[in-house]
Amino acid sequence: MAMPALRFDRLGQVFETRSGRTEALRDVSFDVARHEFVSILGPSGCGKSTLLRMIAGLLTPTSGSVEVFGLPVTAPRDDIGIVFQKPTLLPWATVEDNVVFPARHKTGRVTAEERQRAGELLDMVGLSGFEKRLPDELSGGMQQRVGIARALLMDPDILLMDEPFSALDALTREVMGFDLLRIFSERPKTVVFITHSVSEAALLSDRVLVMTGRPGSILTEVNVPVTRPRGPETAKDKAIHELSDHLRDLLLNRHAA
Amino acid sequence: MSSQTISAISSSTVMPRESEASRTQPALLKRVTAWPGVTTAIALIGTVLLWEAAARLLSIPTYLLPPPSAILGSFSSIGFERWAGHIGATLRVALFGYALSIVIAIPLAVVMMRSPLLSRTLYPLLVVVQSTPVVAIAPIIIVVLGAGDAPRVVITCLITFFPLVVSTATGLAATPPELIELSRSLRASGLREITQIRLPFAVPYIFSALKISITLAVIGAVVAEFCASEAGVGYFIQLSTSLFKLPQAWAGLFVLAAMSLLLFQIVVWAQKLLFPWSLPKNH
Ligand SMILES: Nc1ncnc2c1ncn2[C@@H]1O[C@H](COP(=O)(O)OP(=O)(O)O)[C@@H](O)[C@H]1O
Ligand SMILES: [Mg+2]
């Protein structure tokens, strides 16, 4: 196997605060291959966001290491994009300006090429014609699409998504899932996707990691035995439903324990 | 005064909602009263007429409550040039003090946000300054800084300063943490984080302070004029009162109220014009 995109080696994170010591993660070890889609399921507070922040170089592990393409993460990298739970767009900037914001923020200017790419990305996420709108003229789902386009502007190899659809209604959420399948079939990415939805994890992922409660560690990992390309039809696939049930059992047993 | 000004403005811009009662009113009356400000204007005119009638019929002494006609008379007897001189003097001090306050408060809030140590050190001092009645410090400032506009501008600055610093600091800290993480993940400079994320997010907070501070600025200028001055509307009111020319004093008071109102409205317009996105959505 080629060099993994991400490698976690006995990763641990302990927060020392005035109110005490929190061990968020313990001994997390796994690899993510290039262009693999990995979902992470786990109870709230088990350190999923913490894990993403360490990949993004926003937080230093207190033990173990995270490697991206063979290099330990010491600072944020250019080839990683982030999609947050809330779209968190700039309310004063148009949709297009929001998408090119990473360029403007990093370099102080936006090139014509970047503007063109923003247009293409907006087209890809189904928002062409909305370039000049302001965020609060958009629905929650559309705002999150802008957030996804923004994360893809610099064409990162790795995309970190922290419960990106959890603020959306069930139907929008399902549509967004199908759109993600289409987007990543057009532009393959290495994706780490955090979710609480077992069916979403089953539909989208190549592999699902289930985490234990705090201190979070990997309870088990499950491969998704369904080929790509996937689409709305895949959601009805028996294998997806069986996998969802299996994942739900794993999570519920863990909660009961 | 300032809170009355604010409520007068907000009540005049809010369109009255249609209610059960209004449906029974004649159509014309209903349409006329639906215009913004019409009901306020009617109430004002009614008050003035009632006041005039009361002052005449009950023959209230002029020094207690001059009738509106006498106040109106003194408006014209003072003459445009003298008014312009006094208004200009007050406006100059109020606006310079206000501008100085903005120029100091916003950068200070930024610096305090960047440095928790400085924030911890300065915040108690700011509270102490704010808790000291400006009216009490004003004479001291005037003695220290001498004649001229300088002490008056400083007094105005002092009175307008605190809301601006506190609101700006609150706004700078209210930025969504995700955007700060985005900024850090892009390895952007701290300066860009301030100018492209934090300050724009603070705009609604800054403007709510700017609206409070502009009416405070007029109060500051008047307080300063009360202590030592040869010009300004505050000085004019004090002089008129000491000469028992009460209609004049009242005229000055109305000029001040109108000034506050207008300045407040200019700030409201400025926000609407420059930062329309920062307004609450139902406006
Ligand atoms: N900066 C921090 N300081 C202190 N404790 C933190 C910090 N970030 C996260 N934690 C704690 O670490 C644990 C895991 O948090 P998080 O990664 O956000 O969980 P999840 O995303 O799985 O819900 C929680 O108990 C949380 O309170
Ligand atoms: Mg989380």
**Ligand 1 mutation pick, A49, A53, A160, max ligand atoms within 8 A of CB:** A49
Q: Which residue's CA lies nearest to atom 7 of ligand 1?
A: A15
The answer to whether the CB atoms of B196 and A104 lie below 8 A apart is: yes
Instruction: Tell me how far apart the alpha carbons of residues B75 and B233 are, in angstroms, rounded to a whole number.
Output: 13
In the block, residue with structure tokens 């907000």 = B10
Q: Which residues contact A35 (CB under 8 A, 6 or more apart)?
A: A5, A188, A189, A190
Instruction: Tell me how far apart the alpha carbons of residues B208 and B194 are, in angstroms, rounded to a whole number.
Output: 19
Q: What is the pTM of this model?
A: 0.87
Radius of gyration of chain A (CA): 18
Q: Give the residue, B157 or B65, on which the prediction is more confident.
A: B157
Instruction: Identify all chain A residues contacting B178, using CB atoms and an 8 Å cutoff.
Output: 84-86, 88
Nearest partner of A109 among B197, B192, B205, judged by Cα: B192
Chain B closest-CA separation from residue A50 CA (Å): 12
Give the Å distance between the CA of A48 and the centre of ligand 2.
6
> DSSP label at A2?
P
The answer to whether the CB atoms of B178 and A92 lie below 8 A apart is: no
Instruction: Identify all chain B residues contacting A91, using CB atoms and an 8 Å cutoff.
Output: 277-278
Please state, for a pLDDT cut of 70, what percent of chain A lies above it.
Answer: 98
Instruction: Tell me how far apart the alpha carbons of residues B51 and A165 are, in angstroms, rounded to a whole number.
Output: 63
Q: In Å, how far are A14, A120, B269, B278 from B282, measured between CA atoms?
A: 45, 33, 16, 12
Q: Prior bond to A229 cis, omega within 30?
A: yes
Best B185, B277, B279 member to test A by mutation, with max A CBs in 10 Å, is B185
Give A121-130's long-range contacts (Cβ < 8 A, gap of 24+).
Answer: A121/A149, A121/A152, A121/A153, A122/A95, A122/A96, A122/A146, A122/A149, A124/A149, A124/A183, A124/A186, A124/A187, A125/A149, A125/A179, A125/A183, A126/A179, A127/A95, A130/A95
pLDDT at A238: 95
Phi, psi of B244 (to 5 degrees): 60, 25
Instruction: Tell me how far apart the alpha carbons of residues A69 and B185 are, in angstroms, rounded to a whole number.
Output: 17
Bridge pairing between strands A190-194 and A158-162? parallel
pLDDT at B55: 87
Which helix H or strand E contains B80, and what residues bound it?
Answer: helix B80-114
Angle (CA) B153 B158 B161, round 5°: 115
The answer to whether the CB atoms of B188 and A106 lie below 8 A apart is: yes
Q: What is the pLDDT of residues B10-22, one digit of tens each?
A: 444 444 454 555 5
- The model's confidence at residue B257, banded by pLDDT at 50, 70 and 90, is very high
Q: Is B133 on the interface with A (CB under 8 A)?
A: no
Q: Which residue of A has its CA nearest to B185?
A: A76
Q: What is the residue-averaged pLDDT of chain A?
A: 95
Beta bridge partners of A159: A81, A191
> DSSP label at A136?
G
The answer to whether the CB atoms of B182 and A58 lie below 8 A apart is: no
pLDDT at B76: 87
Q: Note whether ipTM > 0.90 here.
A: yes
Interval A98-126 mean pLDDT? 96
Chain B closest-CA separation from residue A6 CA (Å): 17
Q: What is the pLDDT of residues A162-213, one digit of tens each?
A: 999 999 999 999 999 999 999 999 999 999 999 999 999 999 999 999 999 9
Sketch the domain layout of chain A as residue ranges. Answer: 33-61+74-79+158-257, 89-155
Amino acid at B254: F
Taking 50 as the threshold, does the pLDDT of residue B219 lie above it?
yes
Instruction: Tell me how far apart the alpha carbons of residues A55 and A65 are, in angstroms, rounded to a whole number.
Output: 10
Nearest partner of B249 among B226, B268, B270, judged by Cα: B226
Give the Å distance between the CA of B250 and the centre of ligand 1.
62
**Ligand 1 mutation pick, A11, A13, A14, A15, max ligand atoms within 8 A of CB:** A15
Instruction: Identify all chain A residues contacting B281, using CB atoms and an 8 Å cutoff.
Output: 136
Chain A closest-CA separation from residue B274 CA (Å): 11
* Closest atom of ligand 1 relative to the A46 alpha carbon: 22
Q: Which residue of A has its CA nearest to B276?
A: A92
Q: Which residue's CA lies nearest to atom 1 of ligand 1?
A: A15
**Ligand 1 mutation pick, A16, A18, A22, max ligand atoms within 8 A of CB:** A22
> DSSP label at B197?
I
CATH 3.20.20.10 fits A33-61+74-79+158-257, yes or no: no
The answer to whether the CB atoms of B192 and A92 lie below 8 A apart is: no
Which helix H or strand E contains A13, and what residues bound it?
Answer: strand A6-17
Q: By mean pLDDT, which of A9-18, A78-87, B57-66 is the weakest? A: B57-66
Residues with CB under 6 A from ligand 1: A 15, 17, 22, 24, 42, 44-50, 214
* Closest atom of ligand 1 relative to the A47 alpha carbon: 17
Q: What is the pLDDT of residues A76-109, one digit of tens each?
A: 999 999 999 999 999 999 999 999 999 999 999 9
Ligand nearest to the CA of A51: 1
Alpha-carbon torsion angle A47, A86, A114, A175, nearest 10: 100
- The model's confidence at residue A51, banded by pLDDT at 50, 70 and 90, is very high
The answer to whether the CB atoms of A76 and B178 lie below 8 A apart is: no
Instruction: Tell me how far apart the alpha carbons of residues B266 and B264 are, in angstroms, rounded to a whole number.
Output: 5
Please state, for a pLDDT cut of 70, what percent of chain B lies above it.
Answer: 90
Q: In Å, how far are B70, B82, B221, B226 from B78, measured between CA atoms?
A: 12, 6, 21, 20
Bridge pairing between strands A6-17 and A63-68? antiparallel
